[in-house]
Chain A
Amino acid sequence: DTGVSQNPRHKITKRGQNVTFRCDPISEHNRLYWYRQTLGQGPEFLTYFQNEAQLEKSRLLSDRFSAERPKGSFSTLEIQRTEQGDSAMYLCASSLDLLSAYEQYFGPGTRLTVT
């Protein structure tokens, strides 16, 4: 499968713990995006990278959230001191470049449950 992959697929954690998710984009894609989706809502933009540079962060991304893409390939999203409100599906997407940025291909997501 050469699509976007995400790990883990499911994560259950206790409030206050830190969690880290990984996204592997389609190999030739230089743009990588993170979105969050809660039940009954559409995905909400969190942040995106052009190669290793983080170009934009949503105000939804509090200081407990940090994302990296150190070598311009895979990305990690870390949530520190998780809260119950962080429970959601975290989706990663990738695309080729600005001109085709709309063709974003999504991974299967990581479903986070904070108890």
Chain B
Amino acid sequence: RKEVEQDPGPFNVPEGATVAFNCTYSNSASQSFFWYRQDCRKEPKLLMSVYSSGNEDGRFTAQLNRASQYISLLIRDSKLSDSATYLCVVNQGGKLIFGQGTELSVKP
């Protein structure tokens, strides 16, 4: 079983749609949680941290449920520029453990 599991997608959605990504992690000792974005053939870049209280950054909302070891990302009013792979990431003692990524394609 992988330490961080995501639905690989791809998710194909029209502009303006709301899309939700889910992720589960297996190590309850994981310390912090993130969503990274990776464009095709580019390096991953931090999109946002994820907190138990939930946090929002513009059209993006992230949620963490430590009890069920579940992380989510909601993108509202999706834009063409949101097309990328979204990586669910947990921090274990400083090293990052990545999920396989969920590919999002936003179509006009």
Residues of A within 8 A of B (CB): 31, 33, 35, 40-45, 48, 56, 91, 93, 98, 101-104, 106-109
User: Contact between A109 and B98 (Cβ–Cβ < 8 Å)?
Assistant: no
Chain B nearest CB, measured from A41 CB (Å): 5
User: How many contacting A-B pairs (Cβ < 8 A)?
Assistant: 50
Query: B58 near A: Cβ within 8 Å?
Result: no
Q: Which residues of B contact A104 (CB under 8 A)?
A: 46, 96
Q: A106-B44, A106-B45 are in contact. List 18 more A-B contacts (CB 8 A).
A: A33-B95, A33-B96, A40-B100, A42-B4, A42-B89, A42-B98, A42-B99, A43-B44, A48-B94, A48-B95, A56-B93, A91-B43, A93-B96, A101-B91, A102-B96, A103-B46, A106-B43, A108-B42
Residues of B within 8 A of A (CB): 4, 8, 32, 34, 42-46, 49, 87, 89, 91, 93-101
